[in-house]
Chains A and B, each alone.
Chain A
């Protein structure tokens, strides 16, 4: 276990240092959400109705933006070869890498979302609901993205292929994330129903992601 702990610490450390790129996703998220009111206009009722959807879309796009670095950086400098030669199973290794990536690129999105909710005229309960759904749903995005990152890692210019591969898989997460947030604001279903499905999607992604990614990496050993 100490080896995996060391891997987690290393990835966190690299992400927060200069050039680590942990803040790129957050900046992009803030840009997208800040621009929306300018594009849509100062219709406060409209903004608060579509606010959860805007936040979710922004978070989804920001996650996709940084996913291609999840494994590619380690592939380029040969670290991935050595990571597969360690005592830990490859499934755990990629799982830990995805966890570090979620902590450094998706968790900051969750943290800034209450601030951005203010821009979109969301009230207290709505802000809380969106933040909760983002917290529960973004791990699914990262762990589904892990599969795409593993599939495209051996391609030199796989960066653009990754969103195309992953986007269809993320649609259920987006649907239930937004519908849970909307349920908290306007109803008619209770917040709990879609939120539970969102949590189930995340749990499934947490299990399937590392196994599929490790299988993809093994299949790409050529």
Chain B
């Protein structure tokens, strides 16, 4: 995989973000900022709003207060269009094969990347023609991760990225993350486990 073409430094900044779900205040006055090449690990107890924060950045959840901005990117695009979201659901269609699933997301998300190369990167090239319904949880996760490298986007939003991954796949994920960061990308990950990234920033959410 080649490095992301970054013409200038990008910065994702959140200013006094507020999250409300179902009338309940999840978090309030949350501010942080990360720049190109940096990772931010979001930690905190269950239900404290880690996933909500990621969905908010991805544009999948309404921002109840405060503002989010991504500077240095394409001003025509929303933050969601410049980011990858790896959530709990893997967005795979059981009726389609592994290769079909990945090539659909590659062309839909506007990537020029090669799906087969991405499959090799996550170790699924031998299963390319298998329907996705036969994949194990870890293999489905690997296929979702393949999407991140098949389509180049500067910001990765990862929700529990190591869930269901074996140690080999965790090492592979770490390599991909390091290479993404080295290429000027940004990572925001909600996680309970240390991902192994050396100089990642920490954002600890506490119950509001």
Q: Which residues of chain A have a CB within 8 Å of any CB of chain B? A: 2-3, 5-7, 9-10, 13-14, 17-20, 76-79, 81-87, 221-222
Contacts and interface: CB of A to CB of B under 8 A. Distances in A.
Interface stretch (B57-65, B160-168, B172-180, B186-194): B57-65
A86 B108 contact: yes
Interface string B45-86: 000000000010011111000000000000001001101010
A83 B105 CA distance: 9
Contact of A82 (B21, B61, B85): B85
Contacts, number: 83
Nearest to B20: A222
Contact of A222 (B21, B85, B100): B21
Interface of B: 21-22, 55, 58-62, 77, 80-81, 83, 85, 87-96, 100, 103-105, 107-110
Given A77-B91, A81-B91, 16 more contacts: A2-B110, A3-B107, A3-B108, A5-B107, A6-B104, A13-B95, A13-B96, A19-B94, A20-B95, A78-B88, A78-B90, A79-B91, A81-B55, A84-B59, A86-B81, A222-B22
B109 A14 contact: no
17 contacts: A7-B108, A10-B96, A10-B104, A13-B95, A14-B95, A77-B93, A78-B89, A78-B90, A78-B91, A79-B93, A82-B85, A82-B105, A82-B109, A85-B58, A85-B60, A85-B85, A222-B22
Nearest to A7: B108
B110 A86 contact: yes
When A and B form their complex, which 8 residue pairs have the shortest distance between CB atoms, in order from nearest? A78-B89, A6-B107, A17-B95, A78-B91, A79-B91, A85-B80, A3-B108, A87-B110
Contact of A87 (B58, B61, B109): B109
Contact of B109 (A3, A13, A19, A77): A3
Given A14-B95, A14-B96, A84 B89 contact: no
A97 to B, nearest CB: 12
B58 to A, nearest CB: 6
Given A20-B95, A86-B81, A87-B81, A81 B89 contact: yes
B95 A81 contact: no
Contacts of B109: 3, 82, 85-87
Nearest to A18: B95
A2 B90 CA distance: 22
A200 B117 CA distance: 49
Contacts of A7: 104, 108
Contacts of A5: 107
A84 B87 contact: no
